C-alpha cells in the first residue's frame, strides 16, 4: 500500500498550529524560505499579460528545453539535445514518469537507504518493487559498491541515486560515482540521478553528474533536476530530465496522456531562472551554509544527538538512539511540548533518526535549538 507523505503531513500540522496562534519553529521545511527572485516573477507576469496561457508542447516549450540543454552542458558536461529533454511538473513528476516508463510489474528499483520518502512509493505506484540498499552512518550513508553488486538481480531495472542527498546531505565524490557507474554498466541497469540539490553545496564541495563520467554510462543515466530548490520556486512546479531518446520519448508519451504540458506561465518563469546570473543562487547558498554551520555548532553541544556533517542540501539527519525514543515519538513530543517541528526518520527508512531542516532564518534556528537543548536536558 502507498503511504502518506510524512513530510507533507507535518508541514500541514505546522500550518494549522501557526494558524491557532502557536509560536512554532519549523525545522520540517523541505523548501527554501527565500522569496522567488523578482526577475523570475516578472517573466511570469509578462507571460500572463502577453496571453501565454495556452497549451504548450507536452515536453515543454523549445526555448526552455534548449535552455536546459545548455545548462546540462555548461554545468554538468552532459550532452543532451533538446529533443531528449522533457519538462515536467516538478522533479517529483519527472522521477515518477521515469519509473512508470522503465519499470514493468515486479521489476526492482534499488533505493539506497536512508532515502527520500517518495522514491519507494513511486516504485509501488508503478507496480514495481522498491529494494532498499542499506547504508550506514559509519560509511557516511554512501553506497557500498560490493553491496550494490550483490543486491542486483535479473529483475533490477534501475538504481536511484540522490546526491546531494535528502535526508543526509551526503555528496558523492567522482571516484565513488565511478565505482557505482562501473557496476551499473556491467549489470546494464539504469541510473536515475536525482540532482535537485546540485547547487546547494558547502565547503567548496564539487558536484559531479554520474552521466558525465563516460560515453558508455551516459545512455543508461536519466538525469533529473528542476528549479524548485535552486531558485526557491517550489510552488511553480517545474522539473526536467535528460535521457536517452527511447526513455525521453516514453516519458513524453506518459505525459501526453496524463498531465500534458506543465503550466505555460511557470515554463516562462523557469526560462528566466535558467538565464539568471548565478550570483543570486550563490547568495542563497552562502546563507544556507551560515545556517548549517550554526546548527552544527549547536548540535555539537547536545550529547543525545549525533549527526553526519551535511555537504549539501539543507538538512541534518540526526541520530536520536541515545534518547531511547523512536522517531515518531520524538517528533510528536517535541512538537507538543516545545512547538518545534521536524521530520521523523521513519519515512526515510531510519526510525532512529530525525531530519532537521535549516531552510529557515537564523533567529528561528537559534530559538529552535534553544528549545531542543532545554527539552533534552530535562
Ligand X SMILES: Cc1ncc(COP(=O)(O)O)c(C=O)c1O
Candidates 71-79, 88-96, 148-156, 198-206; binding stretch for ligand X (CB under 6 A): 88-96
Q: Which residues pair with 222 in a beta bridge?
A: 192
Distance between CA atoms of 10 and 6, rounded to whole angstroms?
6
Q: Which residues pair with 111 in a beta bridge?
A: 132
Candidates 69-77, 89-97, 316-324, 340-348; binding stretch for ligand X (CB under 6 A): 89-97
The residue number whose beta carbon is nearest to ligand X equals 90
Q: Of 239 and 338, which CB lies nearer to ligand X in the complex structure?
A: 239
| Position 33 contacts ligand X (CB under 6 A) | no
190-194 and 221-226 as β-strands: parallel, antiparallel, unpaired? parallel
Q: Of 234 and 326, which CB lies nearer to ligand X in the complex structure?
A: 234
Q: Nearest Cα to 300, choosing from 365, 364, 369?
A: 369
Distance between CA atoms of 357 and 235, rounded to whole angstroms?
18
Please count the residues of this chain forming the interface with ligand X, following the rule CB under 6 A. Answer: 13
Candidates 33-41, 84-92, 120-128, 330-338; binding stretch for ligand X (CB under 6 A): 84-92
In angstroms, what is the minimal distance from the CB of 89 to ligand X?
8
The 166-195 contact track toward ligand X, x by CB under 6 A, reads x---------------------------x-
- CA geometry: angle 289, 34, 290, nearest 5 deg: 15
Residue pair 232/36 in contact (Cβ under 8 Å)? The answer is yes
DSSP string computed for 230-271: TTT-GGG--EEEE--HHHHHHHHHHHHTTT-SPPHHHHHHHH
Q: Of 75 and 149, which CB lies nearer to ligand X in the complex structure?
A: 75
| Position 30 contacts ligand X (CB under 6 A) | yes
Residue pair 163/171 in contact (Cβ under 8 Å)? The answer is yes
| Position 91 contacts ligand X (CB under 6 A) | yes
| Position 228 contacts ligand X (CB under 6 A) | yes
Quick one: cell of 347? 519515512
Residue pair 324/183 in contact (Cβ under 8 Å)? The answer is no
Q: Nearest Cα to 90, choosing from 224, 250, 288?
A: 224
| Position 116 contacts ligand X (CB under 6 A) | yes
Q: At what angle do helices 62-76 and 264-275 cross, to 10 degrees?
A: 30
Of the residues 239, 242, 347, 368, which one makes contact with ligand X according to CB under 6 A: 239
In angstroms, what is the minimal distance from the CB of 284 to ligand X?
16
Candidates 58-66, 67-75, 226-234, 366-374; binding stretch for ligand X (CB under 6 A): 226-234
Q: Of 61 and 111, which CB lies nearer to ligand X in the complex structure?
A: 111
| Position 196 contacts ligand X (CB under 6 A) | yes
| Position 128 contacts ligand X (CB under 6 A) | no
Contact footprint for ligand X (CB under 6 A): 30, 90-92, 116, 162, 166, 194, 196, 226, 228, 234, 239
Amino acid at each position: 500500500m502507498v503511504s502518506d507523505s510524512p513530510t507533507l503531513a507535518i508541514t500541514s500540522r505546522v500550518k494549522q498550529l501557526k494558524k491557532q496562534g502557536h509560536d512554532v519553529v519549523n525545522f520540517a521545511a523541505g523548501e527554501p524560505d527565500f522569496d522567488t527572485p523578482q526577475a523570475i516573477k516578472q517573466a511570469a507576469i509578462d507571460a500572463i499579460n502577453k496571453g501565454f496561457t495556452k497549451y504548450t508542447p507536452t515536453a515543454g516549450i523549445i526555448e526552455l528545453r534548449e535552455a536546459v540543454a545548455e545548462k546540462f552542458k555548461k554545468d554538468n558536461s552532459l550532452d543532451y539535445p533538446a529533443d531528449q529533454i522533457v519538462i515536467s511538473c516538478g522533479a517529483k513528476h519527472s522521477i515518477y514518469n521515469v519509473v512508470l516508463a522503465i519499470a514493468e510489474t515486479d521489476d526492482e528499483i534499488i533505493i539506497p537507504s536512508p532515502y527520500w520518502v517518495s522514491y519507494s512509493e513511486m516504485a509501488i505506484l508503478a507496480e514495481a518493487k522498491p529494494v532498499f540498499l542499506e547504508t550506514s552512518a559509519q560509511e557516511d550513508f554512501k553506497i557500498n559498491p560490493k553491496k550494490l553488486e550483490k543486491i542486483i538481480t535479473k529483475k533490477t531495472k534501475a538504481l536511484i541515486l540522490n546526491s546531494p542527498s535528502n535526508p543526509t546531505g551526503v555528496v558523492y565524490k567522482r571516484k565513488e560515482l565511478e565505482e557505482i557507474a562501473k557496476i551499473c554498466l556491467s549489470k546494464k541497469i539504469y541510473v536515475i540521478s536525482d540532482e535537485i540539490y546540485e547547487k546547494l553545496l558547502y565547503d567548496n564541495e564539487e558536484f559531479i553528474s554520474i552521466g558525465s563520467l563516460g560515453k558508455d554510462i551516459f545512455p543508461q543515466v536519466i538525469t533529473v533536476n528542476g528549479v524548485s530548490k535552486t531558485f526557491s520556486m517550489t510552488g511553480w512546479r517545474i522539473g526536467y530530465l535528460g535521457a536517452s531518446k527511447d526513455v525521453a520519448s516514453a516519458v513524453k508519451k506518459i505525459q501526453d496522456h496524463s498531465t500534458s504540458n506543465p503550466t505555460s506561465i511557470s515554463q516562462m518563469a523557469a526560462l528566466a531562472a535558467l538565464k539568471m546570473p548565478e550570483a543570486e543562487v550563490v547568495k542563497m547558498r552562502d546563507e544556507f551554509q551560515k545556517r548549517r554551520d550554526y546548527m552544527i555548532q549547536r548540535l555539537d553541544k547536545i550529547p543525545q544527538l549525533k549527526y553526519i556533517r551535511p555537504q549539501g542540501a539543507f538538512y541534518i539527519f540526526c541520530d536520536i538512539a541515545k534518547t531511547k525514543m523512536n522517531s515518531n515519538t520524538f517528533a510528536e513530543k517535541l512538537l507538543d511540548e516545545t512547538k518545534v517541528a521536524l521530520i521523523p526518520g521513519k519515512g526515510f527508512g531510519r526510525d532512529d533518526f530525525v531530519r532537521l531542516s535549516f531552510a529557515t532564518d537564523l533567529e528561528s534556528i537559534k530559538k529552535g535549538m534553544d528549545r531542543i537543548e532545554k527539552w533534552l536536558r530535562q
